[in-house]
Amino acid sequence: MNCDVAHERIVLAAYGELPDEQIHELERHLILCTECREEKDQLQALRTLAAALPVAEPPANLVARSRLRLEEALDTLPPKRWYERLSQRIVNNLASLQAAPVAAMLLLVVGAGAGSLGGYEYAQGRAAHAAQKEQSATVQTQPAVTQAQTALVPTPAEVASISSIVQQPNSNVVEVNYEQVVPQHVRGSLEDPAIRQLLMLASEDATSAGVRDDSVGLLASECRTGHSCQGAGIRDALMVALRYDRNEGVREKALKGLEPYVTEDMRVRDAVLEALMNDSDPRIRTSAINILEPVEADTSVRQVLYSVANSDQNPQIRNVSRQVLSRVPQIQ
């Protein structure tokens, strides 16, 4: 085993993901290699220090937003062709066997070939036997089976997607696997935690701008009236909508819902400052300036207002920023 392979296996062993036979090979290498042994000790010390620190759970909105972005990114990737998948599998297999003796590789290849051939012949025999059995059974019971299965098929509106279609060999029997949509509804007060949770989920619904607009509007109304708008709940959902929603109306409602907390919550203040500097809608930027006026004495707010008043490309934004600054003589 060379040191490059040992470095990879040291990391896997530290997290308990290295097979037993490779652990023994690594231990024999560490006995002879001082450098790799020191690296293992350093990694173990680092894990011990990291374990002593508290682990912060990511916010639910961040997890949901990250999962949504990952799914969108994966959807944009072109599918790999069969020969690309085959070449990648061969490279992975060779990488895992790079430290094995040549004889072991030959035995593995021969064994895999023999196993594949035997499995293929066995599968062919089983398939032929199953086809004959299925054909005889179909001739006897085909009308009854068709009627029973047809009665179980849902309406198209209840089917979310078709996952696979398989035709039985030498027969007209087709197996269709599908995902079924079961609509549900719940009714309750805006103070109900279940209702609030559903509204926060709806605020990140990428498929419907109308649903996001309705949910953010209700959440913003709750915050404006001061009904349990905690930072770890509704307030976080509104900040996510203000930063990332593509609909201007949704972002504007989120900004209005955050207005009562700009003086007391630094995170809200930072989100409004980001909207002032980066939002594409001049109305939202103007509203952000007016919302920040009560806290213009804050250093970060004052610096942003000065920067916008002097160098922003939009003349309306420059004028509104100057008007806000002119109302505070001590910072002129």
**DSSP secondary-structure letter at 218?**
H
Q: Which of 110-114, 138-142, 298-302 has the highest mean pLDDT?
A: 298-302
DSSP 3-state of 262: coil
Tell me which of 1.25.10.10, 3.40.50.300, 3.30.420.590, 1.10.238.10 is the CATH number of domain 193-331.
1.25.10.10
Half-sphere exposure of 20 (CA within 13 A, CB side): 0
Place 72 in a pLDDT band, splitting at 50, 70 and 90. Answer: confident
d(CA 119, CA 207): 46
Summarize the confidence of residues 131-152 as an average pLDDT.
48
Asked if residue 257 lies in contact with residue 291, where contact means CB atoms within 8 angstroms, the answer is no
Q: What is the pLDDT of residues 184-221, one digit of tens each?
A: 777 877 777 778 788 888 887 777 788 888 888 888 88
Higher pLDDT, 316 or 329: 316
More confident residue, 125 or 314: 314
What's the confidence (pLDDT) of residue 281? Answer: 92
Residue 305's pLDDT is 84
Domain with CATH 1.25.10.10 in the chain: 193-331
C-alpha dist (Å) from residue 222 to 2, 109, 156, 187, 248: 63, 66, 38, 17, 20
Cα–Cα distance for residue pair 221/190, rounded to 1 Å = 10
Separation between Cα atoms, residue 18 and residue 37, nearest integer Å? 17
Residue 131: which pLDDT band, with cuts at 50, 70 and 90? low
Mean pLDDT of the chain: 74
- Mean of the pLDDT values across residues 18-41? 83
pLDDT tens readout for residues 74-101: 777 766 665 566 667 766 665 554 444 5
For residue 181, give the DSSP letter. Answer: -
What pLDDT digit, counting tens, does each position of 227-251 carry?
A: 767 756 788 888 888 988 889 999 9
pLDDT digits (tens, 9 = 90+) for 238-287: 888 898 888 999 999 999 999 988 888 888 888 998 898 889 999 999 99
pLDDT tens-digit readout, 165-185: 777 888 767 787 777 666 677
pLDDT over 80 (residue 118): no
Query: What is residue 160's predicted lDDT score, i.e. its pLDDT?
Result: 65
Which residues are within 8 A (CB) of 178 and not within 5 positions of it... i.e. 6 or more apart? 159, 160, 161, 162, 163
pLDDT tens figures, 49-60: 676 666 677 776
